[in-house]
Structure 1
């Protein structure tokens, strides 16, 4: 406490420092990218010669119209040529680096920044394993400063975008004035198994290729803040009773990795959504009715419906999520950023609006974040 003497020699009143305003990370820009070729669900059924009425019904009633995929050329029998695990890993590397680099450049463009200003790069993927990771490969591909700090988040699945954003935002807060970028690059075409089982059909009816990037910064006091929202807080919930309900593991029969989705997972996620969302909001003194924008992972029609019903949301509330599912399928970790991009395109956000970001994935885990414009 500082005390000074007045002209009379008496002590002045204590000088109280103004309360400090906590530094918060802000979203400065977002960008997305997909592969070059898209297919309707009927195109895919015909291309792979799938005639089983149960599987055809699964594809055609998925609320997905088109997905971007990278399918191998047809063999002598007219069917796409099978790919061994090594070929799939090579495909993942090629597609993920290409999409990730393009999404990153788009996010910087939208933030009014360039590659030379990146100080931290976090890359997220589950659809393939690389060493060195995507961060190193994208830094080399784009000529980013080799001294850039970097981290790779691998294997966390569809929820990983918010897990990584939590760490990226924390880095930005610890380094005011610097630029952090998170990239989610999922080459789901490199994680497919082709057989006649319903386990495989559920997965193959959902996923598409896509990458999304987000620029995060915590401005210094004398810096102008970006127009994007402040990232206020995160909340997470691990459903321990359903750890194996969503997984990516080795298939001995196919001699490759494959996804598994338990048919009950939409209802498990829905039943636990209220707990984590209410915890997220109560920390800020908010209720669900205070949230103007809901950006939920496009995990699948049943997942979206289960979350919507359990949280008391309208179809309008999740319009971006259902639109992304319709046009791209499930894009894994970057799906929620495709929804965020659509929200910005509407130009409907008002200063002071709150938004909730939500992702779901293996663990089974629900991740959430609270933002405010």
Structure 2
């Protein structure tokens, strides 16, 4: 019997795989009560909102206290400078962990995709990481800005396509979000909802497409020998144009800074559309929903997580990594789904043949999905 190489499609096109993942956080860990007390928030409705978030702690980079013990005020310029400092630092550390797990060096990166929404940079984060990490000066780069919490999936699609065109070479996706550089504190419930959710974090993932006859690393990054790894089979997305303004940045004239808005209807919008996009993702490769063993969903908030779970008829066990990331880090924007994937890798429960769905939701409003399968290289 002739062995079948599962790392190539029926058309002979290589199927990219995830070689390793790495994460990093910034600042200090704060409980929800810590944040409320530091900002002097006494409104019982706001305090109740924070308490019901499902978040135990978040990592935030907050300003130092003033003479009265209250946190110092930060201008929009202060926030932009903080964003640059934090995302570069977290990005370097997340990429470093990722490369070490895959037994790779910075110069091995042939394509660098950087995602961030919490601040604007020119030059982009990719150029700053090239300098900080001594990457090859001719590395190909892409900066994805403004796509929000679903942007990891869009960056993953770009990296996947590059790997197919460049088998044997390495692409790295970096999601770095300094959410504490994008906040407004006032007396409105609008800002309270946003401020109750987000944390600072970065995640990096290395992809490569196999070359005929070459061994690949496993999903834990144990060397360049053969191993078990998740292969990226397909992707599907849906832009819900009827809710295009449900998640957005607005300029707040009174505060002199950008202010993020989250519509209270978001969980219901996501819940109403999630089945269709997941079924389209799976039907394209002939996989039934019941065959999916691993669900790695963006930790967008307690109500969003519940909406996905209920509408897809998933168990609480299916959502354990998503819930745990929300509990321990809050909503990390684009990096959240990769934090959930890292939890699965650390758990070590994936087996050959298992299917997994990665899912993230964000502005647009958009649902982005990808299907992976663990295979021997």
Give CA-to-partner distance per residue, 1:278-334, whole Å, 9 cap, x none. Answer: 000011111111000000000000000001000000000000000000000000001
Query: Matched residue of 2:316: which SS?
Result: coil
User: 1:156 and 1:187 mapped to 2: Cα distance?
Assistant: 15
* Gap regions ≥5 residues in structure 2: 1-9, 219-228
Deviation at 1:219, TM superposition (A): 1.5
Query: Matched residue of 1:23: which SS?
Result: coil
Match of 2:94 among 92, 100, 103: 103
Match of 1:184 among 175, 180, 202: 175
Alignment of 1:55-134 (within 5 A): 55-134=46-125
Give CA-to-partner distance per residue, 1:207-266, whole Å, 9 cap, x none. Answer: 000000000000111211232211001100000100000011211111111110001111
Alignment of 1:118-197 (within 5 A): 118-197=109-188
User: 1:142 and 1:100 mapped to 2: Cα distance?
Assistant: 10
User: 1:222 and 1:250 mapped to 2: Cα distance?
Assistant: 54
Matched, 1:332 2:333: yes
Per the alignment, residue 44 of structure 1 pairs with: 35
Contact 2:27 2:62 in 1 (8 A): no
Aligned residues: 355
User: 2:351 and 2:12 mapped to 1: Cα distance?
Assistant: 22
Query: Matched residue of 2:181: which SS?
Result: helix
Contact 2:113 2:143 in 1 (8 A): yes
Per the alignment, residue 249 of structure 1 pairs with: 250
Per the alignment, residue 271 of structure 1 pairs with: 272
Contact 1:210 1:331 in 2 (8 A): yes
Cα distance, 1:257–1:223 mapped onto 2, change above 3 Å: same
Matched, 1:292 2:283: no
Deviation at 1:20, TM superposition (A): 4.8
Query: Matched residue of 1:317: which SS?
Result: coil
Contact 1:26 1:226 in 2 (8 A): no
Query: Matched residue of 2:357: which SS?
Result: strand
Query: Matched residue of 1:292: which SS?
Result: strand
Contact 1:92 1:128 in 2 (8 A): yes
Query: Matched residue of 1:229: which SS?
Result: strand
User: 1:372 and 1:112 mapped to 2: Cα distance?
Assistant: 22
Matched, 1:311 2:312: yes
Which portions of structure 1, spanning 4 or more consecutive aligned residues, are displaced by more than 4 angstroms?
A: none
Match of 2:213 among 201, 214, 222: 222
User: 1:249 and 1:140 mapped to 2: Cα distance?
Assistant: 32
Alignment of 1:318-357 (within 5 A): 318-357=319-358
TM-score, scaled to structure 2: 0.93
CA RMSD between the two structures: 0.8
Deviation at 1:36, TM superposition (A): 3.6
Deviation at 1:341, TM superposition (A): 0.4
Per the alignment, residue 261 of structure 1 pairs with: 262
User: 2:345 and 2:263 mapped to 1: Cα distance?
Assistant: 34
Is the deviation greater in 309-318 or in 110-119? 110-119
Give CA-to-partner distance per residue, 1:44-71, whole Å, 9 cap, x none. Answer: 1111111000000000110000000000
Per the alignment, residue 237 of structure 2 pairs with: 236
User: 2:178 and 2:323 mapped to 1: Cα distance?
Assistant: 21
